[in-house]
Structure 1
């Protein structure tokens, strides 16, 4: 017997090694396996394998199993320990755990199976704070699903709790769908986003070529939100489906585009149904160079008179509510509150018009102010003078010189816009009346009388500006009604005629209301409540179970 054999037997004896029927036991008097190790010490590992040769390319432990059960089976029999069944500490450059399935593996067999019958996690991944790599990476090259979740009971199919960063990133490298929700089996909510009382955005679409400050130079048509909806008639009149939408457009196209091709129905409708809500139904601002709103009626085939825009107060409250209010208040002296342009009439008023006083088209024309003697309870109205001519009026005070003359200078534009003059002179402080010595010429005229007399003068002139010269019919007093207005009236009620005989008909919209109503059984639910899951055809897959 050589020294090596002797040492081996001595060591085996010291360790309590037992050899029975070719089974080897270490600390185990009756080994049941080829190698059976029983740990009887209070500290230390039951088995430790050290692979210290750095040039050795073999595995520290290599397991082969030609039988029908597992190559490795580990159990933790302690019911109080919080330690893991297995731990893999990787200090090198490779993967933590690698499972290679042979190409001949049957369909439906899982490379990694967790069968959790308890109350713990099925899988738990902890990623170091400085690690920029994914916590879980699935590199899928097949034609099936990269990851599939069957949620067969209450709860969430996927739950994502994010403290910082983006909750979900989906990069699509082909012309495919980024997210598909199939609700054809049970309906339900396609996406529910709850911000509670927090600031946030429910849905963002960026189509800016990676640079939101510069318009994209290439690309096709892009829609921030696109939906095809074909629904049956509402179960009750006036009920509609509703949605909130917010978007930021940084390019040169539309922020929102809605095309309606149906034979009826509004393109968009906005309702505030809270009786105490004092906010605007629609609020819009524009920091650019164009108008805030542009509306165009472009139909060439219309039945009767159409209104391109209609704003109406349809309530019954006893107050002077305003149908349309326009204001423009830039620097002092500038701004036009309301401007109307028409080939026939620029502005038509059915009733009195008031501009801090009545300026009416068909009734009286007056300025209206608070009565200076009783401003809290009364108003004072001064009325405009009607005339059968389109006139301009000029007035002033002149002082006759020692020669009994005064030259009255008129505005520099006077000759350009006036013709056919009339004069009125009144002496102040003397009965001797002055007279017109020279008529208007080169924007001035001369009056004469008793030297030193103060003269009050008034000059009436017929308008003769460029517009009046181009449209002399604008000053015509008696006008024939157009053929389509024959037999109609501006104010038919004054002639005991029916309202349908009015030339300018009111297009006031009747009072109406619309209620946003969700389909029955589809009310929004809290996150912890049961929601219909996306139904995807399951493959017939038999997964093995644990012993």
Structure 2
């Protein structure tokens, strides 16, 4: 091992004296160290990188290690072999130099070096620090009694103690126990008064943004945040014409931002009995969205909040007694032009301004317009009518450009780039839960230009034998059975035989088969020689090569038909007894019609209809009387003959 000599004591004393001279100005938390490095031959180790490790030991050279550091890069000796460095500026291995409590010494400095620049350190010194370095401690403690991080104040004429202010180098607080590093300046009030009160004395500046008694400005964050556990985070009171609380955003941030994390209110605006709660003079406003697209945009969150999003995004309620004049939600359009009073557009819906080219109803004078992926307009009623569509003005046809007038118009089609579903419904009706249910009820003629797919179908008339109390139903083949008909032509072979092939599903769908055979073109006998079996039956004629027209009927036996057999004779509902589906045709007044009973009408319409009905009834009765007289005459003539 190389022999190393040093000038430890002299270097430390000289350095600490130099440190003491600068401590009042800057108080650097470092100590200078110098030593002359020689090799085993007592020659100077000049211009060479040296590995150095320094430790601060408490109580004794072998006591508690309070701090240890190494130097990287390694310090280099001078041409005279002098090693110069600052204790406290190296790379800490254990503890921090700033955390050493110099008041609880004594302290010793242990110096270890590796002349070869490695980490094979050898001890060269373990000297005690003398009184001069303790200027680091005495500077801040001589004559002062206080707590760390507390900003001092004069508690008496010649006494300095703790103030309410604390400063940990990152945050500053007033009356704050533990500082929050995320808050640069924090003030706590525990007496129930105002935390911060600002008062502007004199005439305020012209610009509102700089006229407040408290002014908060941030280039990237939030100007002012107010948080209260039970009262008001920010409370603004104005007794004049300027605002109590004014928030101005010159960038993309928020002028005023209120947050309620408990049961409180994020923003409360009370206009009193003569003022206004909230006024938005310009710009777009959003509730639930930071990117409103209109004067007011209300949006529910993607993840609904229970108890809050169980209701519509906007609910309007009116307390006024004059319900016809005031409403919970009122949509109005400038009367001097065509427009839409209230517009609703849902998922994959079409905005009214685009609906003209899509549906032929856009850009028109509409009271309510609804367009959505599921339901454009939905109406629900406990005991009345969910949705009523009424066309009052025939000139509306010219307005829409469609050429017709509609009480209710349903249209389902692909719109824009929306995904095309497998099934669309122009109008969809569903009814259940009553004795008699109608998913759709039409009084009058029904025009269908497409096809009909149905589970079953019947006609329904007043029962000829008891029209006041019963209906009569038949399936569409004018039969009380749910009958299917199959027919065709076939020619028998040279032996007079023919096999008729029926659809594969015939036997699974039908039962109770009936047959009809008609010979065409010649006189011959034809019989069904083999009834239906495996979806075929056989015909035999007494002559060869005979053309036979055949017909087979069957009664449906599928599950739906079995569960919904046609009941020919049915009692009318109690409230419908004494009323008719076709009253005029039965020689009765139109007012006795079931349609008249179920259709909403006002008093004037009913009175008008009664007059018309009486006239029509008389006409029917006169015609019936004529027919009866004519019948009597015919019978008399037949008897005479």
TM-score using structure 2 length? 0.43
Select the structure with the greater relative contact order (CA < 8 A; seq sep ≥ 6). Answer: 1
More strand by share: 2
TM-score using structure 1 length? 0.49
More helix by share: 2
